[in-house]
Structure 1
Amino acid sequence: MKKDPMRYGGRPASAVPPDLWRPTDVDDLEPAAWAALKFPGSAAVSAGPGAGKTEFLAQRAAYLLQTGTCQRPRRILAISYKRDSASNLARRVAARVPDEAHRFVSITFDAFTKGLVDRFSQSLPGPWRFDDYEIEFPKDKEIRSFLTTLAWDASGPMRSELFALHEGRFLSDIVGAWSLPTDPGSPPATAAEFAAWSWWNAQYLRPPKPEVDFTMLNRLADLIVRTNPGLQRALRATYPFVFIDEFQDTTSAQITFLKTTFGHPGVVTTAVGDNKQRIMRFAGALEDAMARYRSDFNAKQFNLGWNFRSSPDLVAVQHHVATQLEPAIVQAISKANVEVGHVPLTIWTYNDERRQAQHIADWVAQDISTANRAASDFAIVARQKVADLEPLLAKELARHGIALRNDDTYYGKLRLQDVLKHDIARLVLGVLRLSAQDRGLPTIWTDTHALISRIRGDGHDAHSSRRASDHLAAFTAHLRGALKQHSVATTDPRELVNLAASIVDTDELEGFARSQHAGDEAEVVLSALAHRLGAVMAGETNWGRVFSAVSAEDAVTLMTIHRSKGLEYHTVIVLGLDDRQWWSYRKDVREAISTFFVGLSRAAHRLIFTCATSRARNGGIGELYRLLDVAGADEKHWT
């Protein structure tokens, strides 16, 4: 009997010939994207803001899966640095190749390394083996105290070298750069390695229960793979194709682990990043991770040159700032739809913050009214401390009936942005919204149905899909009846969240949470969602409005620039172009300009900088004002 490749592996009978393959859901790809997508070896893809890097990775996954280049049952591993990036990429691939989506594993870096440690800890060399551990995040003052004590106990040149170590970079640069030996043995001779060795002894080898952070988990995962050739071969055989997103933020520990695990001719890697958006230096990001990657993985460089987000005017502004980071960079080509009548770049100054909030609210309300825009078309971002800016802005926007959603706000142990983008929260909220409104939500139905199938590990055939659909319909019908019998005012938000979450088995939910994001627990996500639900239930009587208010999709978004990374809006207002918001500018000018670049490149059509004083031009960030002046910013002072 002839073997069925759909069952036994290899290339499926329905595989598309590579020369005939076409992208899904997009008209076409730019030439550089086509070249990188089809390149048979490892590739370093430079993708600036708006270049569509997530879309590129989704299309490359579709190409590898649909052409049979990634043969069954082998998989593609996609590693991201943020939860929402991993989830977003997984959703895009599932939408483009639903029948093969189970062979695409999208996960955060920390989740992948932690998963290896949790599963294979008993294979660690004897001195490193453990039964259990605790995750701790040491504060800078604790690390400084440790280094100071270590230095005073040392002598000669090592003492001064230990004193010179910086606590803020110690875990990433020192602990993360030290490859664990199979036997800790005696202390190393160099100051840096001695400090790392001493840290492991103090935190891991001596206490009753090891205490680790994610850098240490990374080092343990690296040791596991290095000392287990069978596991190393299995990982390379399972994942012959590996994607790494946001590679510019890679740390020394992470790139070393990648080389240990996947630095082999049998594995093809694709790293996507943009050095201009390297804003994680404080967390240990390498100075030039992409150059290190090209060297370590013998990767070919590809540069994506199209911008699908921003208008030609704003692309020109972005290019001017980008040349401060990469002088020889070629300007991107805007492929965005052009809207006429906009002043693309403006600086607004005010006499005080109250007038600033009032004018911004009035202007946003008028623009929504006259241009038929939604509140969600607007983002207000700041370098830091957005919570201090929220009260005035929320009050002034509320005068016009416009909501403000602060994505930086904590609910329980999670920030709102992380809650709303978590797959478990999306599942629960989807179930609640479908229960409150039995028709007219096809997108939410499709998304919730897909999440149930993923969490339960259902098959991908028509029978499994129909079974999940029937289960979702029956469950929401039952919950709809319960909602009709209980008022908003008398309902416990936590009980409601737990009820909606029971659409899947508790163990399945916990397992799914752990598999997606390192350190995550379903309980933490559900608790955070319940806190958010409780906050929006106050004073409301209609369940449909309550569940819509949880995600506040029709609201102006407020967030830090760091949290805006990867997002895009029609109009972006950057608050606080002054020394208070940018107090650390002189400490690291390059990172400050990179952060500035990330903030301004979120806008598609309009970019507005504001300052609640007219004296900021002559302060410590005068250079940023000069950049905007040369880029053609229009300036207005509002009294």
Structure 2
Amino acid sequence: MQRQANPGLVPVLDWRPTGIEDLEPAAWGALRDTGNVAVVAGPGAGKTEFLAQRAAYLLQTGLCPWPQHILAISFKRDSAANLGRRVAARAPDHASRFVSMTFDAFTKGLVDRFALALPPDWRMRHGYDIRTAPDSEVRTFLNTVAFSAPQTLAGQLGFQSGRFVPDIVGGWNLPETVPTDDAVDAVSYAVREWWRARYLRSGRAEVDFVMLNRLAELLVRTAPKLRRALRMTYPIVFVDEFQDTTSAQFSFLTSVFGEETAVTTVGDGKQRIMGWAGAVPEAVQRFTNTFDATTYRLAWNFRSSDALVELQHVIASKLDPATVRATSKATAEDGHDPTVLWTFSSGDREARYIADWIARDIADSDRTPADFALIARQRVKDFEPHFRARLAAHGIRVRNDDARFGKMSLQDLLKSETTRLLVGLLRLAHQPCGLAAVWREVSATLVRVHGAADDEAAQRRVGEDLSDLTTELRSWLQAHPASTTSAADAVRNLLDLVDSATLRRYVKATAPGEEFDLITGAFEARLETVLAGAVDWGAVFDEFESADAVVLLTTHRSKGLEYHTVFFLGIHGRQWWSLGSDRREGTSTFFVGLSRAAQRLVFTTDRSERTGPIAAFFAMLTEAGVPEIVQG
């Protein structure tokens, strides 16, 4: 029995938000606008919730009529998954018509499905491998090209290696036929040679996601039937974190959905911290001009207390003098200073004092270690030994989200849908009762893996298979104690039971860049680490996830997250050595880090000089009235 294709619709005037009390006035305006919309949403504005409510509104009222879909494009896999889950909770009867994926997943999927429709000059003969060239390789290529270029281009090929792929390759639309003569400009010559070296060569092609984007844009541009089909299937498109859009992504969006599609973007130029990866300047303004979009500015902050919002406004006004102070909708807690700057004489003293402070705060409240974050601009591994030792003395874990396992960061590994599935299966096998939420998540993932989303009979079979799988896995865990079992054996057995071939195909189709072997390799590496000294499997799984731990992470990895209390470590020149080369992006990074706090924000520094570019940060803190306390 399949689900009803077009469940009952709600009249537009009768529609109300689901799961929340209300929307702010600007959000209502953006939600009801059926044209192109640019939503400027600062920290804590609830942009994911807004997009979920807009999706529910369009689907439940029939403004996006069956069988058409809404396409939501995010830049990170976890953001795409989070939005998909939110829409499923807000509009469960219509969730199958909401497609949430990353830019890379969408463009790769087009190339994989329609590669034969590429113009003859660009068709692959032997498939491709995804590989991002390291900066050293790009530099070697540029040196070679500059040496071999025609005399007419002498001195014109001085491209920066770090900008070449995102800006130059990403900003070049592929022509239908590959130029064969050298009577071209420097950009066209260099990019053409790049494609010849990596793609238009004998054997398998090598591409990165910028190149896949360019191939997808060429494909849609030269196949009018495909473009019409995409626009008919997805008359409405959402793009999250729009301030991080690259030249290639903006070009693709314009080419594919520039007409006959209602595009909604959500972003905040003050949080543009991906310039190094090719994010275009003034992306929101560029979108409003190109798409003739209406701009709506959300003014409510649901995350941070009023005092923290005031601090955020001081920093935000340095990035955009016209910015309007947000209105805090969070309830402020009494009994502590919302912001403070602590100065320490050494790293060990800093870690000891903060560890003791966190332990006391947990003991005196209902907070858990996961309510605290240690954020730094970079090199968080330098902080880890001190904090791990000092917090361990209180029985508190530290989870370094930047730590590498195999070829993945711990943060990416733990957020991977595959990892969540595998850990969930292990937990259900180890503890058969009391994990209803884990069962639901694992079951929902397996339904997607086996393509049973719209077939209730198939879903029942998935549930039965899950029961059998966890029973068999439970027997294996009981026969193989954690203290004497290797990670390789545990992973091998788990993959044998879970139908890894089907899971591999699912990952390939839904998570480009997240290669199955890469995930399982990182999973095994993490498991091997936590098995050392393990007492039982339950402790292993707890340590693997470290869900109840103080998180240590960089500002870039903290984006989109929030914590009750944030310690912003290392406000000094050694951490912020690159501030002078790009003051705006450095200030945006500072803004992103400090705006993760909901109730308390503690900056830390040492006794080093406060001159040069870093002086601007201390001036901002002074302007915002942040007190400084010397802790010794």
Normalised to the residue count of structure 2, the TM-score between the two structures is: 0.96
The residue correspondences of 1:53-92 to structure 2 (distance < 5 A) are: 53-92=47-86
Task: Find the partner of 1:260 among 241, 255, 259.
Answer: 255
* In 1: Cα distance, 2:13 partner to 2:489 partner: 54
Q: Deviations over 1:172-195 (max 9, x none)?
A: 111111111111123353222222
Report the alpha carbon displacement of residue 523 of structure 1 after superposing the two structures with TM.
2.4
The equivalent position to 2:519 in structure 1, one of 525, 534, 552, is 525
Per mean C-alpha deviation after superposition, the further-off stretch among 554-563 and 470-479 is 470-479
Q: Which residue is equivalent to 1:483? A: 477
| 8 A contact 1:361–1:396 mirrored in 2 | yes
Alignment-derived partner of residue 236 in structure 2:
241
Unpaired runs of 5+ residues, structure 2, are none
Q: Which runs of 5+ in 1 are unaligned?
A: none
1:111/1:518 contact within 8 Å kept: yes
Distance 1:268 1:505, change over 3 A: farther
1:445-471 Cα offsets, whole Å, 9 max, x none, are 221121111211113465444443333
What is the Cα deviation at residue 521 of structure 1?
2.1
Q: How far is 1:72 from its partner?
A: 2.1
Contact kept in structure 2, 1:111 and 1:514, CA below 8 Å? no
Provide the secondary structure at the position in 2 that maps to 1:419.
helix
Identify the residue that residue 219 of structure 1 maps to in structure 2.
214
1:621 equivalent to 2:624? Answer: no
Q: Is the 8 A contact 2:579 2:586 kept in 1?
A: yes
**Partner deviation per Cα, 1:379-410 (whole Å, 9 max, x = no partner):** 00111111121111101111111100001111
How many angstroms apart in 2 are the aligned matches of 1:387 and 1:295?
Answer: 43
Match of 2:604 in 1: 610
Aligned to 2:204: 209
- Secondary structure of the residue that 2:43 maps to in structure 1? coil
**Alignment-mate amino acid for residue 116 of structure 2:** Q
Measured against aligned partners, the alpha-carbon deviations of 1:519-543 in whole angstroms (never above 9, x if no partner) come to 2222221221222122112212222
Give the SS at the match of 1:348: strand
Task: Confirm or deny: 8 A CA contact 1:77 1:239 kept in the other structure.
Answer: yes
Q: Is 1:631 aligned to 2:598, yes or no?
A: no
Q: Counterparts of 1:18-167 in structure 2 under 5 Å?
A: 18-131=12-125, 132-154=127-149, 158-163=153-158, 165-167=159-161
CA apart distance, 1:476: 1.8
May I ask how many residue pairs the two structures share in their alignment? 630
Shift of the alpha carbon at 1:481? 2.7
1:286 Cα deviation after fit: 0.4
What is the alpha-carbon distance in structure 2 between the residues aligned to residue 184 and residue 408 of structure 1? 41
Q: Does 1:406 align with 2:393?
A: no
Shift of 1:161: 2.6
1:25 maps to a residue whose letter is G
The alignment partner of 1:68 has SS state of coil
d(CA) in 2 for partners of 1:456, 1:190? 50
Aligned-pair distance for 1:157? 7.3
Kindly provide the CA deviation profile for residues 529-570 of structure 1, in whole angstroms up to 9, marking residues without a partner as x: 222122112212222222122111110000111000000000
2:509 alignment partner in structure 1: 515
| Residue number among 513, 530, 538 corresponding to 1:536 in the alignment | 530
Report if aligned partners of 2:46, 2:302 keep a CA contact under 8 Å in 1: yes
Shift in Å, 1:499: 3.7
**Which deviations, in whole Å up to 9, do the C-alpha atoms of 1:34-53 show, x marking residues without a partner?**
21112111111111010011
Instruction: Rate the CA distance shift 1:55–1:500 in 2: closer, same or farther, 3 A.
Output: farther
Q: 1:465-614 maps to which residues of 2 (within 5 A)? A: 465-501=459-495, 504-611=498-605, 613-614=606-607
Write the distance in 1 (CA, Å) between the matches of 2:203 and 2:459. Answer: 48
Larger CA deviation: 22-31 vs 315-324 = 22-31
Residues 2 and 456, structure 2, Cα contact 8 Å, conserved in 1: no
Moved more, 464-473 or 421-430: 464-473
**SS of match in other structure, 1:595:** helix
Which residue pairs with 1:289 in the alignment? 283
What amino acid maps onto 1:49 in structure 2? P
TM-score by structure 1 length?
Answer: 0.95
Letter paired with 2:191: A
Q: CA deviation at 1:207?
A: 4.4
Q: Structure 1: how far apart are the matches of 2:444 and 2:264?
A: 27
Q: 1:337 aligns to what SS in structure 2?
A: coil
- Give the match for residue 306 of structure 1: 300
1:222, distance to aligned residue in structure 2 (A): 0.7
In the alignment, is the contact (CA less than 8 A) between 1:45 and 1:271 conserved in 2?
yes
Q: Which moved more, 1:346-355 or 1:615-624?
A: 615-624
Return the offset for 1:147.
2.4
Give distance in 1, aligned partners of 2:62 and 2:498: 33
Distance in 1 between residues matched to 2:149 and 2:466, nearest whole Å: 65
User: What's the CA shift string for 1:347-390, capped at 9, x where partnerless?
Assistant: 11111111111111111111111123100000001111111211
Q: Which amino acid aligns with 1:637?
A: V
Q: How many angstroms does 1:491 deviate by?
A: 2.1
2:341 aligned residue: 347
Could you say which residue in structure 1 is the equivalent of 2:386?
392
Query: Counterpart in 2 of 1:375?
Result: 369
Over aligned residues, Cα RMSD in angstroms? 1.9
Look up the equivalent residue of 2:267 and give its one-letter code: G
Structure 1 residues 74 and 575 mapped into 2: Cα distance closer, same or farther (>3 Å)?
A: same
CA contact (8 A) 2:375 2:593 kept: yes
User: Is this contact kept in 1: 2:271–2:592, CA < 8 A?
Assistant: yes
From 173, 176, 186, the counterpart of 2:170 = 176
- Please say which of residues 458-467 and 253-262 is displaced more in the overlay: 458-467
Identity %: 51
CA shift, 1:514, in A, is: 1.8
Structure 1 distance, partners of 2:478, 2:445, is 26
Counterpart contact for 1:108–1:516, Cα < 8 Å: no
Judge which range, 504-513 or 126-135, deviates more.
504-513
Is residue 158–residue 191 contact of structure 1 (8 Å, CA) maintained in 2? Answer: yes
**CA contact 2:108–2:213 (8 Å) conserved in 1:** yes
Deviation of 1:138 after TM superposition, in Å, equals 1.9
Aligned residue in 2 for 1:279: 273
